[in-house]
Amino acid sequence: MQFVLPILYALLFIFIIIRIKFFAVPEIPRGMMVSVFVIKIVAGIFLWIIYTYYYDSGDLQTYYNDGNTLYKLLLSDPKQFYNVVFKGASYPRLAIWNSSFEPVLYNDARTMALLNMFFRFFSFGCIHVHTVFMCFLSFMGITAIYKTFRNYFISFRGLLFLAVALVPTVLFWSSGVLKEGLLFVGIGMLLYSTNCGLSTSYSFKKIIFILFSICLLLLIKFYILIAILPGFLLNIIVSRTSEKRILLKYFSVILFSATCLIVISFADARYNIVNIIIDKQTKAISEAQGGVFLTNEKHFVSIDYDKQNQFLQEIKTDSVRIKAGSSYLQWGLENMHDTTFVTSSTDTSAFLRLYSVAPARSLVDIKRNKPDLFNILLSVPKAFFNTLLFPLPGFSLNPLKLIPALQNVIILLLLLCAVFFRKTTIRHKAIIIFCLSFVIILYTLIGLTTPVAGAIIRYKSPAIPFLIIGLFLIIDKEKLLKLFSFLKSC
């Protein structure tokens, strides 16, 4: 069952890819489409192996385990399930529900748990079925992204599809039971339904797709939608005017967007973008330090990862007591935003061990910002270039580090080609600005808030296809071919 069921579902999705019109692209044989989907499944299983045997824990297992717990709770106690999901009641065996530090923004991890609960009805407890389902969803999103941009390329469309779909970090992170897979669905549906914002008319079906994709992005990672928005608004303006003075129009959109954020910040301090960035940065730095996370009916607790044997006393499987005199961080389940540092524990109650996070193996030096806008603006250039340039090859032969580094070298070479071998007359400026705007904003947000090297590689993967598309539209292939011919003749 562990292998038969995933294979059966994979065959079903292959049949859909072969038969459904959406996956019919003239320049790409169906066999190639199927091959890319199968490669994604292999990548998804490899991702599961890495999370299971290399990291020993992580988001993938947490999403699956909480989805499985919700599934069992729904069948055994529908009333309590309703209270947990719709009223925010705590439930000790749910790691995600009891670790929500974001009272303003929806906790995107809960969406992943609910999705895994839905998958559980079809998987019968086989996690690889969840992987196959997610691979199909993300493959739909990548196909939608390619179909959105293919009309802006006269040649090399097949190469473009492979470049977008098989970029190692995109392939790896979008093929597992993680948020990135759903991000590609949301981004792909939004852009395909609107032609990147350039459509001038919309059918009822397209409006439904647009609303669904916006809701999906808001529930998974709201800042992806924020990164898309300026370029998207620019294209709406261009579709109703022209590409004349397009940079002026773009900076007007940026100014308008910034004004809206400032007004919202004054209207409700909870939505102050500066405070949100600082909160996310602080939380990310704290999580990078690792910890063992516990809960009971009243509290959520974080124990120093390296001191768990010293501070915890096992009672039974997954149940522990905190030894007297131990120090730890504590939050009340009713108010996860206020942190209490307990220096000498006197709590003798039992706690459920939820999960543990090992300290990050590699950290990136990011500046701890003060909660003011000017301080954050000063950090923007370094934040962007940290994300753009990372990772570069070091001395490690570890494939998890070497492959992303080599990928980044190739992308940086493409960037240089776009500078020195750009087209004399650049067409589709609105599309290029959209792609590069999304990349710049997302890279900057990642650089401001993410101190963990592996997380940077993962979080920037949704932007990689757009960076490649934007650079391909700028680079003059004829100039490059002439250079290669000249070098060959020498």
Domain edges within the chain: 4-220, 264-280+361-490, 290-357
Q: How far apart are CA 435 and CA 167, in angstroms?
A: 17
Give 145 or 350, the one with higher predicted confidence.
145
Whether the predicted pLDDT of 354 surpasses 90: no
107 band by pLDDT with thresholds 50, 70 and 90: low
Mean pLDDT to the nearest integer, 193-216? 91
Query: What is the overall mean pLDDT for the chain?
Result: 84
Mean pLDDT to the nearest integer, 74-87? 86
103 band by pLDDT with thresholds 50, 70 and 90: very low
Name the 3-class secondary structure at 20.
Answer: coil
172 band by pLDDT with thresholds 50, 70 and 90: very high
Whether the predicted pLDDT of 108 surpasses 90: no
Whole-number pLDDT of residue 155: 74
Whole-number pLDDT of residue 289: 73
Which residues, 6 or more positions from 312, have their beta carbon under 8 angstroms from its beta carbon? Answer: 292, 303, 320, 321, 322, 323, 326, 353
Contact (CB, 8 A) for 185 and 219:
no
Whether the predicted pLDDT of 428 surpasses 60: yes
Q: How far apart are CA 73 and CA 80, in angstroms?
A: 7
Whole-number pLDDT of residue 134: 95
Whole-number pLDDT of residue 467: 95
Give me the residues paired with residue 355 across strands: 293
Which of 161-165, 213-217, 272-276 holds the top average pLDDT?
Answer: 213-217
Whole-number pLDDT of residue 104: 47
290 band by pLDDT with thresholds 50, 70 and 90: confident
Whole-number pLDDT of residue 334: 65
Whole-number pLDDT of residue 145: 95
Give 97 or 469, the one with higher predicted confidence.
469
Q: How far apart are CA 349 and CA 291, in angstroms?
A: 20
Which residues, 6 or more positions from 360, have their beta carbon under 8 angstroms from its beta carbon? Answer: 288, 289, 290, 451, 452, 453, 454, 455
Mean pLDDT to the nearest integer, 329-341? 71
Mean pLDDT to the nearest integer, 291-315? 82
Between vectors from CA 405 to CA 366 and to CA 108, what angle results, nearest 5°? 55
Whole-number pLDDT of residue 426: 86
Whole-number pLDDT of residue 463: 95
Whether the predicted pLDDT of 395 surpasses 60: no
Mean pLDDT to the nearest integer, 261-271? 75
365 band by pLDDT with thresholds 50, 70 and 90: low
How would you class 484 by CB atoms within 10 Å of its CB: exposed for 0-12, middle for 13-18, buried for 19 or more?
A: exposed
Comparing 62-66, 113-117, 355-359, the range with the smallest average pLDDT is 355-359
Whether the predicted pLDDT of 64 surpasses 70: yes
Whole-number pLDDT of residue 435: 95
Whole-number pLDDT of residue 370: 66
Contact (CB, 8 A) for 128 and 48:
yes
Kindly state the DSSP code that residue 358 receives in the 8-state scheme: P
How many other CB atoms are there within 10 angstroms of residue 479's CB atom? 15
Which of 56-70, 120-134, 250-264, 441-455 holds the top average pLDDT?
Answer: 120-134
419-447 b/e (C-beta count within 10 Å ≥ 16 → b): eebeeeeeebbbbbbbbbbbbbbbbbbbb
Comparing 67-76, 202-211, 376-385, the range with the smallest average pLDDT is 376-385
Which of 169-173, 201-205, 360-364 holds the top average pLDDT?
Answer: 169-173
Residues of the chain with pLDDT > 70, as a percent, come to 88
Which residues, 6 or more positions from 301, have their beta carbon under 8 angstroms from its beta carbon? Answer: 293, 294, 295, 322, 328, 329, 330, 331, 351
